[in-house]
Amino acid sequence: MSSIEYKKTFFKIADFVSWQKDKTLILSPKFQRRAVWKSGAKSYLIDTIVRNLPIPIIFLRDIPVDLDTLKAVREVVDGQQRLRTVLSFVRPQLLEDYNPIKDGFTVQKNHNEEIAGKTFEELDNDIKQAILEYEFSVHILSPRMDDREVIEIFRRMNSTYYKLNDQELRNSQYFGVFKTLAYDLAAECLDYWMTWNVYDDDDISRMKEVQLTSEIMMMMIANNLGSSEQKKINDFYKQYDSELPRQEEIYNNFHLTMKVIDDNFKDFLPSSIFCQQTKIYIFFALIYHLIFGLNYHPKIRNQHQKLSQENVYKIREVCNELQHNKNVIDSSVIKAVESRRQGITDRTKIFKHLVDKII
């Protein structure tokens, strides 16, 4: 293959709408996948555009000018689903194969409450204008490139990324209430995770703190220690995709627990075994239990208990003992502490040991 010829530029959404109207945009070339995005992913994209946040590059190929119509034609190499989503929202009638059941959608409330449930025509003029003037970053491939070269580029773009972990897969599959809250809480508490030495930049880039936040939310919803099994986490994302009871309460109680931990243990955690990614869940559960109570109450309590200085001292003492004086600890607890997996059995064993020693 010869060196690739392409140019970098920007095009507004209005440009793509105009090209589709003039039938000079080939939206679904033969090597592209068919549109498969669900309504949540479409809603998330429109909200991203409204907020003027960046979106991955669109790749087009110039097609030689039609000598009969004298029109320039552009073919979508990568970005079909993004562009189809935008056209479905702004001017659905321009899509010849538009299906209201499959393609129709509006923005979800958990993504953008201001425009939720509204069609493009129902939006305020300033928001319409902002959408139409939003600029995609575009790479345009030369019309001299043949199909074999374009297909090779397309396949390379879709095969050279590293393998997605479980949380990254969830990020691409779910766009509902549970996911939105998990990502909001993880982002808002980022400084805590970093200050406590739980996660580094690489961990954050792979969304590990989002998975932990998700597991903690599961604990708060079920009011009990939960599993770290990926299927269980997926089930919660699916079950609470459209609605999450007590959402505000979970949000507030999560933040309150994080603040209590930071106020009393930010100098303790970085050198403790509980800064480990497999054990910070247990430490959070312990503090949350002392404030709100786990296991014994069917619902998350509105009233919380204050963590006394006596509690703080005892927590530090018991955690240090678990780390440094293993000879005085039951062997089954030590085995749970040293387990690399930290499944529900290990979590429960360590949690109950801490609670029994502190309370």
- Spatial distance between the Cα atoms of 4 and 29, rounded to a whole number of angstroms: 20
**Residue 140, phi then psi, degrees to nearest 5:** -110, 120
Instruction: Look at residues 3, 12, 2, 30 and name the one whose alpha carbon lies nearest to residue 138.
Output: 12
Does the pLDDT at position 32 exceed 60?
no
> pLDDT by residue (tens digit) across 36-75?
688 999 999 999 999 999 999 999 999 887 777 788 899 9
| pLDDT for position 205 | 85
- Give yes or no for a contact between 89 and 42, defined as CB atoms under 8 angstroms apart: yes
Q: Is the pLDDT of residue 298 over 50?
A: no
- Residue 276 banded pLDDT, cuts 50, 70, 90: very high
Beta-carbon contacts of 52 under 8 Å, excluding residues fewer than 6 positions away, are 130, 134
Cα–Cα distance list, 10 to 15, 60, 266, 302, 334 (Å):
10, 11, 46, 51, 59
**Mean pLDDT of all residues in 174-197:** 94
Residue whose pair of structure tokens reads 């296991």 in the numeric block = 295
- Residue 240 tokens read as 């609470």
pLDDT category, 33, cuts 50, 70, 90? low
- Tell which phi-psi region holds residue 21, choosing left (phi > 0), alpha (psi between -120 and 50) or beta: alpha
Element (H, E) at 10: strand 6-12
Q: How confident is the model over 205-225, as a mean pLDDT? A: 94
Q: Is the pLDDT of residue 301 over 60?
A: no
Mean of the pLDDT values across residues 119-131? 97
Could you say which DSSP state residue 135 is in?
E
Q: What per-residue confidence (pLDDT) applies to 86?
A: 97
CB–CB of 253/213 below 8 Å? no
pLDDT (0 to 100) of residue 300: 43
> How many other C-beta atoms are found inside a 10 Å radius of the C-beta of residue 194?
15
> For the chain, what is the mean pLDDT?
89
Q: Is the pLDDT of residue 191 over 80?
A: yes
pLDDT at 261: 97
Dihedral sign from CA coordinates of 46, 49, 54, 56: positive
Tens digit of each residue's pLDDT (9 = 90 or more) over 318-354: 999 988 876 767 888 989 888 877 789 999 999 999 9
Q: What is the DSSP letter of 359?
A: -
pLDDT, tens digit, for every residue of 237-270?
Answer: 999 999 999 999 999 999 999 999 999 999 999 9
DSSP H or E stretch at residue 263: helix 247-265
| pLDDT band per the 50, 70, 90 thresholds, residue 296 | very low
State yes or no: pLDDT of 302 exceeds 70. Answer: no
Q: 24 with 160: CB under 8 angstroms?
A: no
Higher local confidence (pLDDT), 255 or 298: 255
